[in-house]
Structure 1
């Protein structure tokens, strides 16, 4: 039997501390290197979270942890094997150094039946934080038996009453939170908001272009907010039902006159994995010419065309297999970390991640990220700046600051791939 989490302690400090840096226009660039956050190989404990504000002054963070990532150990009281994790969740003010937490909770979860690959440990952590601010949260999950820690960082938006954090989505079949912003198969969802209001649903089915190279002059076309269809979900004493059974995405609003709300996207199964020939082909666009891409598309056997491309680049089957593993591994990693209103590999960060590999250094602010390939503050290093986009459909939209100076490095990277050399990493 799985035990519920045990809360060891919780405390709140005066919110007046938040005002100490309240006039700062933005947070200073962190000196901390956060490159590990986009590295699947350095993710010892897989975990997902959802944030919901059930009422004024209260926030709940739902959490699931992959039980198979925890190390079983013998309980010296029961002599049974079990896995244990300690969750340390701290919430910090919007600006200033992350030293004094506004609220902090320590939670322990344990699995008394370890060993199943499809098992998750679930927890719901309550925080006492007032409205009117967007907070910074740091969650550290420690495998007790292995003494290994995974860190998650995220914002908690209690400033915008229409933000997605004011909605809760459950999977009807399992009655657990939906831990992603997307589904891959037709699904019936249970949705509620914290004001028990009727909800306006706007459905969109749009095609978005791939991002161009980093040296291109590019201004994405403005989004056309006129929905393909609009309907209303009536509020109930429990949850309203939404059938997500069409490609595209559903934008759910408490206030139909506003743009902020909850978005549910649909991507092809088994996203974020890349398994089909079509998926493998589409992501080749970054390392092929326009003519090559069109010519491959016209082949009667697309799979053979993809295999031939990699074999021609690599020169041998063994090398081709290695390049395929790395390239599509990066595509899948981009899907996991950078998905927004499009699949992660189709974003600016996905483009750079796939072609250049993982950066050596990442610095983050509330306005964006800086990726550095090489050493910090070294004029010979290559750096990319991604600006956070205010997007009503997602909090994970970042746009690359493009520049002509990237042309030489881009063509060197493409040449490496096409000559059988895995670029970086």
Structure 2
């Protein structure tokens, strides 16, 4: 199968190993100037206020969303993180924007309680309703909020949906065995799930592909220096079933599910503990962002790899167990969150956005425009600066973004790595 996106295999050049520790003794004044330059020169900010979409990358604030085409309508499924966000007498408020960075909405509307379904589960609120296809145009952005929307409205507690051909064409939604939308593009091995189609249940063709995608390359790496990825992925297995049939996949990997009407989606099948990591090998893999290849080999070859991983973190913490525990909790907590936020064709922590999320934390500011995201970090001591991601077409991922890599990021990156390797991130973790 030809892959529409440029997914690069695992190629890590050991940049950290080749970077002398003397370079880590950075003049912080110079680093501050670099950070300011990255904000003002690399990505100049507009004078007018812009919407900050950083809440999209905070799981406690993010409204999850999925869709399904139903004849002349699109059904929208939402999961608000708060159980009390929608009292029965409230309406849903909708704004149609020409783009994420539009100054004012093109149209405002609302959906009364009688037109949507609501249920509460644990601490969350699930809502679903329909919008006419005639009112949705590819490229538009639809904002759904629990409070009235204006051009100055805060974006928190809102769902933001970009209208794409997939939005307008996909006639199924992934659900759990009870019929609740998964709102994610991964399932676990042996986790029962369904493809809930609109209309008659259709035959489904599933293909599992050879996928050996590696972790993201450092922000300063020139992609042109890396080997070209293979243009196609080999098919390892195929299976057929019908929509509405409970499906359980026993083999982890990257799948593509396609209905008889031609709509499809990528699906990542993961180990049973995902998005958390539990085995020693899983815990060692994300350390690629902080370690040399020799250090990781030593961890893998240790008689007790899990104990070796604990020792690695304890050494970074200069023997202080409380600091080591905080480092472990922060690092692997970010890995699990990145897996929830960014998993698509590979584990979320391996993606470009996942790499920055794990090492630098959630961004302070996110600006979105057509096909681009800007992530800003304001904490200079933990590698402040601005990073630009650009959307790339993908067979398996609805939202695939690649980092625009720059040599200017080198000092910023190694300053952030140094924070981890000296245990200092424990003082500033969030």
Query: Would you say how many aligned residue pairs link Structure 1 and Structure 2?
Result: 364
Tell me the distance in 1 between the aligned counterparts of 2:215 and 2:325: 26
Name the CA distance, whole Å, in 1 between partners of 2:369 and 2:219.
21
8 Å CA contact 2:77–2:128 kept in 1: the answer is: yes
Residue 49 (1) aligns with residue 65 (2): yes
- 5 Å matches for 1:47-196? 47-56=63-72, 58-65=73-80, 69-70=82-83, 86=90, 88-95=92-99, 96-101=102-107, 104-107=110-113, 118=122, 121-130=125-134, 133-141=138-146, 150-157=157-164, 159-160=165-166, 165-171=170-176, 173-194=177-198
The answer for the alignment partner of 1:419 in structure 2 is: 422
Unaligned runs of 5+ in 2: 1-45, 148-154
Deviations 1:391-417 (A, max 9, x none): 021112111111111111111111111
Deviation at 1:129, TM superposition (A): 2.7
Q: CA distance change for structure 1 residues 98 and 340 in 2, over 3 Å: closer, same or farther?
A: farther
Aligned-partner SS, 2:307: helix
Judging by fraction of residues, say which structure has more strand: 1
**Secondary structure in 2 aligned to 1:175?**
coil
Indicate how the Cα distance of structure 1 residues 245 and 282 shifts in structure 2: closer, same or farther if over 3 A, else same.
same
Change (3 A) 1:126 1:384: same
- Tell me, yes or no, if the aligned pair for 2:95 and 2:105 is still in contact at 8 Å: no
TM-score, normalised by the number of residues in structure 1: 0.74
Match of 2:343 among 303, 315, 339: 339
- State how far apart, in whole Å, the 1-side matches of 2:253 and 2:260 are: 21
* C-alpha displacement of 1:294: 0.6
Q: Return closer, same or farther for 1:210/1:381 CA change in 2, 3 Å cut-off.
A: closer
3-state SS in 1 of match to 2:163 = strand
Q: Deviations over 1:54-109 (max 9, x none)?
A: 112x111123445xx4359xxxxxxxxx9769562525254454413375424489
Partner of 2:7: none
CA 282–288 in structure 1, closer or farther in 2 if over 3 Å, else same? same
8 Å CA contact 2:97–2:105 kept in 1: the answer is: no
Task: State the match for 2:236 in structure 1.
Answer: 228
**Higher RCO, 1 vs 2 (CA within 8 Å, ≥6 residues apart):** 2
1:85 touches 1:141 (CA, 8 Å); kept in 2? no
Match of residue 387, structure 2, among 384, 387, 404: 384
- Mark the runs of 5 or more structure 1 residues left unpaired by the alignment: 1-27, 73-81, 143-147
| Distance of aligned partners of 1:149 and 1:424 in 2 relative to their CA distance in 1, 3 Å threshold | closer
Alpha-carbon distance change, 120 to 326 in structure 1, aligned in 2, over 3 angstroms: closer
- Would you tell me which structure has more helix in proportion to its own residues? 2
Query: Contact 2:215–2:349 (CA<8 Å) still a contact in 1?
Result: no
Partner of 1:358, secondary structure, is: coil
Residue 244 of structure 1, aligned match among 235, 246, 249? 249
Alignment-derived partner of residue 75 in structure 1: none
Which residue in the other structure is 2:56 paired with? Answer: 37
Preserved CA contact (<8 Å) 1:91 1:135: no
Distance 1:317 1:243, change over 3 A: closer
Contact 1:70 1:84 in 2 (8 A): no
Judged with a 3 Å threshold, the aligned counterparts in structure 2 of structure 1 residues 121 and 409 are, in CA distance, closer, same or farther, namely: closer
Change (3 A) 1:365 1:161: closer
Quote the offset at 1:335 in angstroms.
1.4
Distance 2:118 2:420 in 1: 44
Distance change >3 Å, CA 85–CA 30, structure 1 → 2 = farther
CA offsets, 1:116-156, max 9 Å, x none?
x74754332111232662431212246xxxxx962221223
How far 1:307 sits from its partner (Å)? 1.0
1:410 aligns with 2:426: no
Contact 1:182–1:264 (CA under 8 A) maintained in structure 2: yes
Whether the aligned pair in 2 keeps the contact of 1:162 and 1:255 (CA below 8 Å) is no
Once residues 280 and 348 of structure 1 are traced to their aligned partners in structure 2, the CA distance between those partners, rounded to angstroms, is 19
How far off its partner does 1:194 sit? 4.9
Shift of 1:110: 10
